[in-house]
A and B are shown apart, each in its own frame.
Chain A
Amino acid sequence: MAVTAQTRLDAHRLRADFPYLEELFNAKPVAFLDSAASTQKPRQVLDTMRDFYEHSYANIHRGVYRLAVEATAGYEGAREKVRRFVNADSTREIVFTRNATEALNLVAYAWGLDNLGPGDVVVITELEHHSNFVPWQYIAKRTGASFAHIPIDDLGELQLDSLDGIAASGNVKVVANNLVSNSLGTINPVEKLAEWAHHQGAIMVVDAAQAAPHRAVDVQALGCDFLAFSSHKLCGPSGVGALWGRRELLEEMSPFNLGGEMIRSVRLDQTSWNELPYKFEAGTPAIAEAVGFGAALDYVTEIGLDAIARHEHELTAYALERLAEVEGLVAYGPPADRRAGIISFNLGEIHPHDVAQVLDWEGVAVRAGHHCTQPLMNRLGVAATTRASFYLYTVPEEIDRLVEGLHKVRKALG
């Protein structure tokens, strides 16, 4: 792709959109380097939600009065924005969920319980987030299917030469993988895996929670069957996420949650399900949050996903270079050009919680722990890592402050 001026973003300018980034701690703004866990929220999203609550809010779908019609239009308008964002064919294929985790559970339960059994194999990877790992492990156990994993190499990239062995071990029915690893930032070859999965007669389930904020996600180009992501990781509110699924699969599936809205009719001895996507949306959803989700999609789309990806690659390359100056620091994962803006590292024998604690006193917010990827931590041979992650509002000065802070950590605890 030709790099033009339009594909660059101005992080310093964008920071003015984020109220939290203007707050001072010890006369300095906090270097917020935990966007992979959840991003800060721009005024454009906050204002949209406030305006919606003040002027357009009512419960949706059944109301005949104007306000309910307006609220429904806002909610369904957000569904159309999600459809466009992932390049889906139809809004019938877009199900609002609480978050990516619930979307993945929906697939594991509603598809898995009816389609898996002894002799079948569920395939995940060694660097899955627990959200795309535990539901499949659990449903495999419940149905008698076996549970296989694709291992990673020392750079944290999938070892695809393991696929033949996995195919020989049984009837592969599901391949589940994150497009971007939340711990290492690895961008995984989902297109290749989807092709392999379909060759095995399996479905391809993509956890895009970490990918959707950082690069363009196109379900047609990925060739997957289900894709899940969350609003809160791309400048939107928490409490809402989305599942895209191929229509014919969603139609065949049993419901997941049961109750209001997802029914067509209820009798004492018989209940029929509502049409897509409502079959999977039981109960009053997060209405204003969905509208905020839509505003967040507008916000990142206007900046441009390519510009965001490029910004992150540049920051990551800079951070890896600067972190290498810190004595005793080990950074995990692939080179900058094959990862999103996420860096996990350890500083000698100092526990990540202590690293993060001292950094906090310096006004640098990072995450410490296993990042919901314990199998990956075991593979790396560590209990935990410190993780710094970047987003569209991250500036190189914040990485400088991280590095200065790490020197202090080393002096104090090393």
Chain B
Amino acid sequence: MSEFDQLYREVILDHYKNPRGHGLLEDPGAQAEGQNPLCGDEVSIYVSFREDGDTIDEVKFSGRGCAISQAATSMLTELVQGRSATEVAALPKDDLLDEIGIPLTPVRLKCALLGLSTLKLALHKAKGTPLPSEWAGSSNDLDLR
């Protein structure tokens, strides 16, 4: 298998070209924006919950990014549907990486995990689940607005 085929395997290209969960959610139960400082990719995540207020009913995302980040976020929306906020907040990144199933260098790993990290940030903001470590310390960001 060529290196191209290994990285951009069919299922990745399928999720990239036909992303599941792409779009916005009106009045989401949780929401956050994430950025990958390495390449400038951005993603916004919207979550709606079922009546119990804890089970994830639907995740949608918008933004721009490379094939890996878009495909990974698309897969993520399917992976977490029907799971509880607490469970997803603690979801090991390997669960998503197994789903993606391709070898990733550290830089591309950041692309693949942007959606998950942003989803966890959204759950933290809405449900008080633990803040993922990559977001710690962002409290003193510079804001002139």
Known interface pairs A270-B143, A275-B136. Does A72 touch B106 (Cβ–Cβ under 8 Å)? Answer: yes
Return the contact of A273 from the options B38, B108, B138, B144 (Cβ within 8 A). B138
**Per-residue CB proximity of B32-62 to A under 8 Å, as 1/0?**
0001011110100000000000000000000
* B141 and A273 contacting across the interface, CB-CB below 8 Å: yes
Chain B residues contacting A279 (CB-CB under 8 Å) are: 137
By secondary structure, the B interface counts as mixed
Residue A222 is within 8 A (CB to CB) of chain B in the complex: no
| A61 in the interface (beta carbon within 8 A) | yes
Q: Which of B37, B108, B135, B140 contacts A265 (CB 8 A)?
A: B37
| CB pair B144 A274 closer than 8 Å | no
Q: B140 near A69 (CB under 8 angstroms)?
A: no
Asked whether, in the complex, the Cβ of A252 is within 8 Å of the Cβ of B140, the reply is yes
**Contacting pair B39 A251 (CB below 8 A):** no
Determine if A273 and B137 form an interchain contact, defined as CB atoms under 8 angstroms apart. Answer: yes
Asked whether, in the complex, the Cβ of A275 is within 8 Å of the Cβ of B137, the reply is: yes
Give the chain B neighbours of A274 by CB distance below 8 A. 37
Q: How far is the CB of B87 from chain A (nearest CB, A)?
A: 24
Are B107 and A265 closer than 8 Å at their CB atoms?
Answer: no
Q: Which residues of B contact A254 (CB under 8 A)?
A: 140
**Interface contact B107-A62, CB-CB below 8 Å:** yes
Q: Does A264 contact B (CB under 8 A)?
A: yes
In the complex, are the beta carbons of B142 and A69 less than 8 A apart? no
The reply to whether the CB of B105 lies closer than 8 angstroms to some CB of chain A is: yes
- Interchain CA distance A247-B134 in the complex, whole Å: 12
For chain B, residues 98 to 143, give those with C-beta under 8 angstroms from any C-beta of chain A: 105-108, 133-143
Assuming the A-B contacts A69-B107, A73-B106, are A269 and B35 also in contact, with contact meaning beta carbons closer than 8 angstroms in the complex? no
- Closest B residue, CB atoms, query A275: B134
Please, how many angstroms separate the alpha-carbon atoms of A148 and B131 in the complex?
39
Q: Which residues of B contact A92 (CB under 8 A)?
A: 133
B106 touches A69 (CB 8 A): yes
A275 to B35, CA, bound (A): 11
- Residues of chain A within 8 A (CB-CB) of B145 are 269-270
Q: Chain B contacts of A265 at CB under 8 A?
A: 35, 37, 40, 42
Instruction: Tell me if B138 and A272 are in contact (CB < 8 A).
Output: yes
Q: How far is the CB of A65 from chain B (nearest CB, A)?
A: 10
Min CB gap B114→A, angstroms: 11
Docked Cα-Cα span, A73 to B107, in Å, equals 10
Looking at the assembled complex, report how far the CB atom of A279 sits from the nearest CB atom of chain B, in whole angstroms: 6
User: A276 and B136: CB pair below 8 A?
Assistant: yes
Of the four ranges (under 10, 10 to 19, 20 to 34, 35 or more), the interface on chain B belongs to 20 to 34
**A64 in the interface, Cβ–Cβ < 8 Å?**
yes
Contact residues of A: prevailing secondary structure: mixed
Q: Which residues of B contact A76 (CB under 8 A)?
A: 106
A253 to B139, CA, bound (A): 9
Contact in complex: B106, A272 (CB < 8 Å): no
**CA–CA, A234 to B58, complex, Å?**
56
Give the distance to chain B from A340, nearest Cβ to Cβ, in Å: 35
Q: Would A276 and B137 be within 8 Å (CB), given that A264-B37, A269-B144 are in contact?
A: yes
A85 to chain B, nearest CB (A): 22
A257-279, CB < 8 A from B:
261, 263-265, 269-276, 278-279
* A283 at the B interface (CB under 8 A): no
B64 to chain A, nearest CB (A): 13
- Residue among B37, B42, B138 facing the most chain A CB atoms (10 A cut-off): B37
Q: Does A250 contact B (CB under 8 A)?
A: yes
Contacts of B37 in A (CB 8 A): 261, 263-265, 274, 278
Please determine whether B35 and A264 come into contact, CB atoms closer than 8 angstroms.
Answer: yes
Q: Which residue on chain A has the smallest CB distance to residue B143?
A: A270
Contacts of B142 in A (CB 8 A): 270-273
Contact flag A271-B140 (CB < 8 Å), given A69-B106, A69-B107: no
Q: Which of B49-107 contact A (CB under 8 A)?
A: 105-107
Looking across the interface, which residue of chain B has its beta carbon closest to that of A63?
B107
Contact check, A69 vs B105: say whether CB atoms are below 8 A apart: yes
Q: Within the assembled complex, what's the spacing in Å between the Cα atoms of A274 and B145?
A: 20
Q: Which residues from 368 to 412 on chain A have a C-beta closer than 8 Å to any C-beta of chain B?
A: none
The 6 closest A-B pairs by CB, nearest first: A251-B137, A265-B35, A272-B141, A269-B144, A271-B142, A275-B134
A interface list, Cβ under 8 A from B: 61-64, 68-69, 72-73, 76, 92, 247, 250-254, 261, 263-265, 269-276, 278-279
By a beta-carbon cutoff of 8 Å, the part of chain B in contact with chain A is: 35, 37-40, 42, 105-108, 133-145
A-B contact pairs, 6 of them (CB 8 A): A64-B107, A251-B137, A254-B140, A265-B37, A270-B142, A276-B137
